[in-house]
Structure 1
Amino acid sequence: MAPSPVTADSTILIIGAGTWGCSTALHLARRGYKYITVLDPYPVPSPIAAGNDINKISEHSGAEDWPDPDKDPQGFADHVCRENAITAWKNDPVFKPYYHETGFIVAAHTPSTIEHVKKHELYPSESVFEKLETAEDFHKTMPEGVLTGSFPGWKGWWKKDSAGWVHARKALVSAYEEAKRLGVNFLTGTPQGSVVCLQYENGDVIGAETADGQVHKADHTILAAGAGSDRLLDFKKQLRPTAWTLSHIQMSPEEAKLYKNLPVLFNVAKGFFMEPDEDKHELKICDEHPGYCNWVPDPNHPGEKRSIPFAKHQIPLEAEARARDFLRDTMPHLADRPFVFARICWDADTPDRCYLVDRHPDHPSLLLACGASGHGFMQMPAIGGLVADALEGKLHKTIQYAYRWRPETAANRDWKDTQDRYGGPNRMMDFQDIGENGWTNIPETSRV
C-alpha cells in the first residue's frame, strides 16, 4: 500500500503544536500546502512542551567539520540539521530576533566528566576553545561581580563564537504566528485539540479523533507530539518520555544589565545558566541530571509500566538542592535567593538519541516526527524542513537512514540507561518516588 500523492491540495494533519509541530507547519505552509491543520491539547506555547522556555543553548560546528556520511550517518544527519538551523537563526526573520551569539562555556568538575567533555563536547575541536583552569579564569569570562564562586575542581572550555542561546518561547510563538498567517489552522485546547486516538481504515492512518468526538481526516498525518507521541502509537519501545527540571531567580533591573550578553555556562554534571530574560528579569537555573520518568502501570500491556508526562509548575526538592549546589560553585551570592518559578519539562528519548523522522512501515500515510532526545530545540528552524522533505519523499538518503524507524535499536531496552548524561545521582529517577511533600511550594503566578 502506498500513501496518496503529496500535492499542494493534500490535506495534512499535524498532531502536536510544540517545537517540531510548529516548525513543520511553517515549512509546509511556506512550500505552498493549503490545507494544514494542527491539533494540540494545550494553547501555544504548551505548558508541557520543553520549547516553552525563556532560553535554550544553541551551538553549531564549523563548516570544515563534516562527518563522513558513510561512516557516521547519524553525525552527518545531525550536522546537516545543525547547520541548516544556524543559517535560519542568523537569517530567517521569523527566528533571527531570538538568536544571541554570546559564546558558550562547557565545563566539568570530576575526572570522568572532564574526560567526557574532551571526547564528546568540544565542537568542532578543542582548538577553537580557550581553556579555563582556575576560578579566576572563569571569573574573567564575565563582568566583575557575576561569577563569584570558587569553582571547586572545575575545568572549562570557552567557545567565543558560533554558539550562544535562543529565546525559545518567543521563537516558538513566532513560528506559530507566521504559520497561522500563511493559512495553517491550529485547533488547540481541550477538548477540540486533544487527540484521543488515531483513525485507521484498511490498515492505514486516515486522521485522528479528538476528545470532543470530532474525527479529523487527512491524506497525510504527521505525529509530532513530543513526549506524548507514544500515547497514540506503539513505538516498539523507541520512545522514552523523560523530564528535566528548571527554576528561575528574580533579578533586579540593575542586575539584569550586568548579566546581559553573557556566554552560556554549562557544567555537564552540575547545571547551567544563561542571561536573565529581558521581560521579567528572571535568571533560569537548570540542574543537570540524566532525567526523570513517571512510571505507571501500562493499561495496554498488563504487567508493564510506561512513563506518562504531566505538567507541573514545581520541581522536586532534590532538584532545588542541586540547582543551589550549582549556584554555590559559581554564584554563591545568589545561592539562597528564593525561586520565583519552577517547572518540569518533557521530551522523548530514542535509544541512540537520534531523531525519528520517517513514514510508519505499516501505515504509509502516517509520518513520524519525534524523538528529539533533549537536543531538538536548537534545530527548530530546520527540523520542519526535514519533515517536509520526508513527506515529499526527497529526504537525503543518509538522513533518511539515520532518522529511520528502527525498533531493532530498542530490543531489550534498558529503561534506566542514562544515555551519557551526568549529574545528580548519575542514574535515571522516577517521579513516583517523590512524595507529596517532596516538591517545592513556589507561589503560582500568571504566566504565558
Structure 2
Amino acid sequence: MTTPSPNESSSILIVGAGTWGCSTALHLVRRGYKNVTVLDPYPVPSSIAAGNDVNKIMEHKELKGPDTDARSIAFATCTRAALGGWTNDPVFKQYFHETGFIVSGSTPEIIQHIKQEDIETSQGDFIALETAEDFRKTMPPGVLTGEFPGWKGWFSQKGAGWIHARKAMISAYTEAKCLGAKFITGTPHGNVVALVYEAGDIIGARTADDVIHRADHTILAAGAGSDRLLDFKKQLRPTAWTLSHIQMTAEESQLYSNLPVLFNVAKGFFMEPDEDEHQLKICDEHPGYCNFIQDPNNAGEMKSIPFAKEQIPLEAEARAREFLRDTMPHLAERPFVFARICWDADTPDRAFLIDQHPDHPSLIVAVGGSGNGAMQMPTIGGFIVDALEGKLSKELKDVVRWRPELAVNRDWKSTQNRFGGPNKLMDFQDVKNDKWTQI
C-alpha cells in the first residue's frame, strides 16, 4: 500500500499539542505547508504534557571513538541539532540557560558507570569533582551547604544547562499559529477518541464531539497518551516521574540564579528557581512509576495507563528530601508548595520512535521520548517532517524506525538502565490513597 507524497497543499493532522506536536506544527508551516491542524484535549500548554514545566535539563555531548553504538550516535545527532536551535532560533533561544551541567553519583558502582558510559565516551570540558568542596565551588557560597557523602562528579560548562520548557512550548505554539497552523483544543472538540480507518489506512481522527477530522496524512504525537489510540505492539510503556517545588524568596532566587544543573543519577537533581514564581524544582531520581491495570483489549496482559495528579507519593517526597540533605540541608525540611507526576513513554531501547506506520502509510508515529523529549523541542519537529517526506537520514531512520521485534516478550518491569529509589520500577497501584502528599 502506498500513499501520495505530501506537498504544501496536503492536509496534515497532528494528534497532540505537547512538546513534539507544537514543534512539528511549527516545522510544517515553516516549510510552507498550508493546511495543518493540531488536536489536543487541553489548551496549550496542556496540564498533562510532560513539557508543561518550568525547567528541563538540556545536555549535549559530542561522542568520541569509532565503536560508539548507533543509538548513541543518533541521539547525539538529535541533541546537536537541538542545541543549535536553542542557541540560534529566535522562537527558542531566550528560553535556554547555558549554565552548565553536573553529573554525579554517590556509590562506587554508579560513579564507575558514569565514568564509563558518559565521560570516557564523550568529548567535553569535564572538570572532575572529587570532594564536597569541589561541588560547593561550582555555585555561590551558601547554596551547596551539604557534605555530599560519597559523591563524585563531573562538571561541564558548555552546551548544557536548562530550558524553560513551558514558555518554549507556548512560543512554538504561538509562532506556528501565526504562520497558519490551526489548533483545536479542549474537550470535546480537541479530544481525540479514536483514529479513523478506511480501506486499511488511517484517514484522520474522531474527536469526542463525534466529528471526523479527515487528512491526507496524520501524525500521532500524543506522548504517553499515544498508546490508547494505536496498537504499538508493546513498543511504548507509559512511565512517570515525580517532581516538587520549594518556595524561595526573591532574595534567595537572586542567589540561586544562573546555577548549573546538579544531577545525581541515583538520587535526584535540581535547577534554579523560575523567574516568575521563585520556586526551586527538586526531582528525586528512580527508574519510574507505571500504573498497571488489566489491558481491556488483551486478556491476560497488563498495561500502564497514565493519569494526572498534582501530588506525589510520600516515598518520593522522602527521596527528594534525602537528596536535599546531601546537597542543601538548609532546605531539606522546607515545605513543598507544588508537586506532580510527569508522564513520558519508554521504548524498549529508549530510542525515539519516528516512522511511517508499516500497515497504515498515511500515519506517522512520533513518540517515545523516553525521558529525553523536551530538550529536543526546537528541532525534533524537523526530523518528524523529514520522516513524513521520506527524507530522514539513514543514521536516524535505522534507529528510530518501527521496531516491534525489540518488544517481543518485553519485560514491563525493566529499569531501562535507570537508577535510584528502590532500584526497581514502581507501580502506582501499590501506593495507597493515604500515602500521597497533601499540598
Could you tell me the TM-score, scaled by structure 1's length?
Answer: 0.96
Secondary structure of 1:245 counterpart = strand
Residue 33 (structure 2) aligns with: 33
Letter in 1 for 2:56: K
For residues 125 and 361 of structure 1, do their structure 2 counterparts lie closer, same or farther at Cα, with a shift above 3 Å needed?
A: closer
Q: How does 1:237-316 map to 2 (within 5 A)?
A: 237-316=234-313
The alpha carbon displacement at 1:66 in A equals: 6.3
1:175 aligns with 2:172: yes
| 1:141-181 deviation digits (Å, cap 9, x = unpaired) | 11000000011110111112221111111001100111111
Residue 152 (structure 2) aligns with: 155
Distance (Å, rounded) in 2 between the aligned partners of 1:126 and 1:87? 17
**Contact 2:39–2:185, Cα closer than 8 Å, also in 1:** yes
For residues 241 and 197 of structure 1, do their structure 2 counterparts lie closer, same or farther at Cα, with a shift above 3 Å needed?
A: same
Distance (Å, rounded) in 2 between the aligned partners of 1:230 and 1:128? 40
1:379 aligns with 2:376: yes
What is the alpha-carbon root mean square deviation over aligned residues? 1.3
The alpha carbon displacement at 1:61 in A equals: 2.2
Paired residue total: 439
Out of 416, 419, 422, the residue aligned to residue 419 of structure 1 is 416
**Contact 2:220–2:363, Cα closer than 8 Å, also in 1:** yes
The percentage of counterpart residues that share the same residue type is: 69
Distance (Å, rounded) in 2 between the aligned partners of 1:335 and 1:176? 37
For residues 387 and 133 of structure 1, do their structure 2 counterparts lie closer, same or farther at Cα, with a shift above 3 Å needed?
A: same
1:399 aligns with 2:396: yes
1:142 aligns with 2:150: no
Residue 51 (structure 1) aligns with: 51
Letter in 2 for 1:314: Q
**Contact 1:51–1:377, Cα closer than 8 Å, also in 2:** yes
Q: Which moves more between the two structures, 80-89 or 122-131?
A: 122-131
Secondary structure of 1:121 counterpart = helix
| 1:178-210 deviation digits (Å, cap 9, x = unpaired) | 111111111111111111111001000000100
Residue 14 (structure 1) aligns with: 14
Distance (Å, rounded) in 2 between the aligned partners of 1:127 and 1:214? 52
Distance (Å, rounded) in 2 between the aligned partners of 1:37 and 1:123? 45
**Contact 1:355–1:373, Cα closer than 8 Å, also in 2:** yes
**Contact 2:64–2:123, Cα closer than 8 Å, also in 1:** no
For residues 26 and 274 of structure 1, do their structure 2 counterparts lie closer, same or farther at Cα, with a shift above 3 Å needed?
A: same
**Contact 1:292–1:428, Cα closer than 8 Å, also in 2:** yes
Distance (Å, rounded) in 1 between the aligned partners of 2:36 and 2:124? 46
Out of 362, 366, 369, the residue aligned to residue 369 of structure 1 is 366
Letter in 1 for 2:186: G
1:187 aligns with 2:184: yes
1:23 aligns with 2:20: no
Out of 226, 229, 237, the residue aligned to residue 229 of structure 1 is 226
Out of 319, 324, 330, the residue aligned to residue 322 of structure 1 is 319
Secondary structure of 1:131 counterpart = strand
The alpha carbon displacement at 1:72 in A equals: 3.0
**Contact 1:45–1:169, Cα closer than 8 Å, also in 2:** yes
**Contact 1:245–1:344, Cα closer than 8 Å, also in 2:** yes
The alpha carbon displacement at 1:123 in A equals: 7.5
Residue 445 (structure 1) aligns with: none
Secondary structure of 1:289 counterpart = coil
The alpha carbon displacement at 1:331 in A equals: 0.3
Where do 5+ consecutive residues of structure 1 fail to align? 443-448
Secondary structure of 1:357 counterpart = strand
The alpha carbon displacement at 1:122 in A equals: 2.5
Secondary structure of 2:364 counterpart = strand
Distance (Å, rounded) in 2 between the aligned partners of 1:61 and 1:159? 9
**Contact 1:61–1:124, Cα closer than 8 Å, also in 2:** no
The alpha carbon displacement at 1:76 in A equals: 2.2
Secondary structure of 2:282 counterpart = strand
For residues 85 and 126 of structure 1, do their structure 2 counterparts lie closer, same or farther at Cα, with a shift above 3 Å needed?
A: closer
**Contact 2:64–2:121, Cα closer than 8 Å, also in 1:** no
Q: Which moves more between the two structures, 345-354 or 396-405?
A: 396-405
**Contact 1:106–1:121, Cα closer than 8 Å, also in 2:** no
Secondary structure of 2:48 counterpart = coil
**Contact 1:8–1:32, Cα closer than 8 Å, also in 2:** yes
The alpha carbon displacement at 1:116 in A equals: 1.4
Letter in 1 for 2:33: Y
Letter in 1 for 2:26: L
Distance (Å, rounded) in 2 between the aligned partners of 1:107 and 1:75? 20
For residues 408 and 321 of structure 1, do their structure 2 counterparts lie closer, same or farther at Cα, with a shift above 3 Å needed?
A: same
The alpha carbon displacement at 1:274 in A equals: 0.7
The alpha carbon displacement at 1:223 in A equals: 0.4
Distance (Å, rounded) in 2 between the aligned partners of 1:171 and 1:154? 33
Distance (Å, rounded) in 2 between the aligned partners of 1:152 and 1:112? 15
The alpha carbon displacement at 1:49 in A equals: 1.3
Letter in 2 for 1:200: Y
Secondary structure of 2:196 counterpart = strand
For residues 206 and 415 of structure 1, do their structure 2 counterparts lie closer, same or farther at Cα, with a shift above 3 Å needed?
A: same
The alpha carbon displacement at 1:136 in A equals: 1.1
| 1:361-401 deviation digits (Å, cap 9, x = unpaired) | 00000000000100111111111000000111111122111
Could you tell me the TM-score, scaled by structure 2's length?
Answer: 0.98
Residue 446 (structure 1) aligns with: none
The alpha carbon displacement at 1:433 in A equals: 0.5
The alpha carbon displacement at 1:5 in A equals: 2.3
The alpha carbon displacement at 1:259 in A equals: 0.3
| 1:314-353 deviation digits (Å, cap 9, x = unpaired) | 0000000000000000000000000000000100000000
Distance (Å, rounded) in 2 between the aligned partners of 1:390 and 1:331? 45
The alpha carbon displacement at 1:71 in A equals: 6.6
Distance (Å, rounded) in 2 between the aligned partners of 1:347 and 1:43? 19
Secondary structure of 1:88 counterpart = helix
For residues 123 and 19 of structure 1, do their structure 2 counterparts lie closer, same or farther at Cα, with a shift above 3 Å needed?
A: farther
Distance (Å, rounded) in 2 between the aligned partners of 1:168 and 1:436? 30
**Contact 1:15–1:221, Cα closer than 8 Å, also in 2:** yes
Out of 426, 430, 435, the residue aligned to residue 429 of structure 1 is 426
